[in-house]
Amino acid sequence: MTSPPLPESNRNRISGRWLRELGAALGPALPGTTPPPDRVCIRMRGVPTLLYIVSLAALLAVAPLPGTGTAEPARDDSAAAVASADSAEGRADSLDYGSWVDEDEQKRFAKVPWRIGEYFQFSIDWNGLNGGSSLMQVQNLQRVGGRRAYRIVSKTESNSFVSKFYKVRDRAESYIDAESLYTLRFIKHLREGGYKSDVDIRFDQANQKAIYSDGTPFTVAPRVHDVLSAFYFVRTRPLPDGATMIVPTHDNKKSYEMEVKVHKRERIEVPAGKFNCVLVEPILKSEGVFKSKGSILVWLTDDERRMPVLVRTKVPVGSINVALTDYRLFFERKK
């Protein structure tokens, strides 16, 4: 079953040293590219990952960064540990949050489709050429402002070929309140060519404030999300065909309503397998390797897990696919 083509009116605009240097490397494969400003910029009418996995724009770093918040006992924080968790001796199934979270507290947690240890690995391809990989994972439970929060990490890196002319090491972390599912903290580290950006936002949901690391406060909507928590929140929704969801979102010192349109159900195939999916279209506005005035299509599994399977966006010289290559639903105890 074929997917609907992206409208011509929504074609993205690409500029930047990244395309100029990629064009130089690939020659006639990129006709008509012109030397633009010093950093890549595909502008999206709306923004996300989703969205740090949502396009080659979402490229998020793999190198581990120091932890934030007060960590709960004994979860290995590295991507490698998550990827090999099922072979770790004595690892507890994450249906059990651990002895440090009592039963009464667990009863207050919102029902979610993920478990601690869930991870997704993606391949990022442009016109069939691999440009890098991306990882999303639920790493552990932490305390933020005295509240339990899921620590969600999304990372992307360009591969060795792309890194020769435009190295990308991006990382985002979201701390999602385990009871309300709204964001409590968002951290973003962008390393894209010569561009560098570090953002740390604490969200005071009670007083509707987003407070940046320099102390600057911004008024935000009630029940606001960051771009990463917004994606995980969408995963908890029913998503009937034809529905439209509005998710209040704050990023890069701007607040906006992220619109998510639910298009249809279809079965698709990616390297990780064949899946029955629901096709959604998020309208996003955020910072990353790519920004776009066009649309992004996202396929989530049509089951209780709502796993991200495929992300597709059009660019003037083809399309970018972010496809699921591997996944694990939770840490497993070795049998």
Kindly report, residue by residue over 245-282, the tens digit of the pLDDT: 999 999 999 999 999 999 999 999 999 999 999 999 98
* 3-class secondary-structure state, position 106: helix
Per-residue model confidence (pLDDT) at position 295: 73
Strand partners, 264: 279
Strand partners, 197: 190
Domain region containing 188: 8-327
The per-residue pLDDT for range 146-159, each reduced to its tens digit, is 999 999 999 999 99
332 occurs within a structural domain: no
Domain count, the chain: 1
The H-or-E segment that residue 10 falls in is none
115 occurs within a structural domain: yes
Taking all residues of the chain, what is their mean pLDDT, rounded to a whole number? Answer: 74
Q: Are the C-beta atoms of 158 and 330 separated by less than 8 Å?
A: no
Per-residue model confidence (pLDDT) at position 100: 72
Q: Are the C-beta atoms of 59 and 35 separated by less than 8 Å?
A: no
Q: Which residues contact 301 (CB under 8 A, 6 or more apart)?
A: 275, 276, 277, 278, 307, 309
Per-residue model confidence (pLDDT) at position 317: 74
Per-residue model confidence (pLDDT) at position 300: 98
Nearest to 117 by CA among 332, 333, 272, 334: 332
1 occurs within a structural domain: no
Rg of the chain's alpha carbons, rounded to an integer? 19
99 occurs within a structural domain: yes
334 occurs within a structural domain: no
Using alpha carbons, list the distances in angstroms from residue 131 to 43, 45, 127, 245: 19, 24, 10, 32
109 occurs within a structural domain: yes
3 occurs within a structural domain: no
Determine the Cα–Cα distance for residues 211 and 332; give it in Å rounded to an integer.
Answer: 37
Rounded to two decimals, the pTM is 0.72
171 occurs within a structural domain: yes
Using alpha carbons, list the distances in angstroms from residue 242 to 8, 176, 200, 245, 265: 22, 28, 36, 10, 11
Which residues of the chain are under the pLDDT cut of 70? 1-99, 284-294, 332-335
* 3-class secondary-structure state, position 163: helix
Per-residue model confidence (pLDDT) at position 314: 79
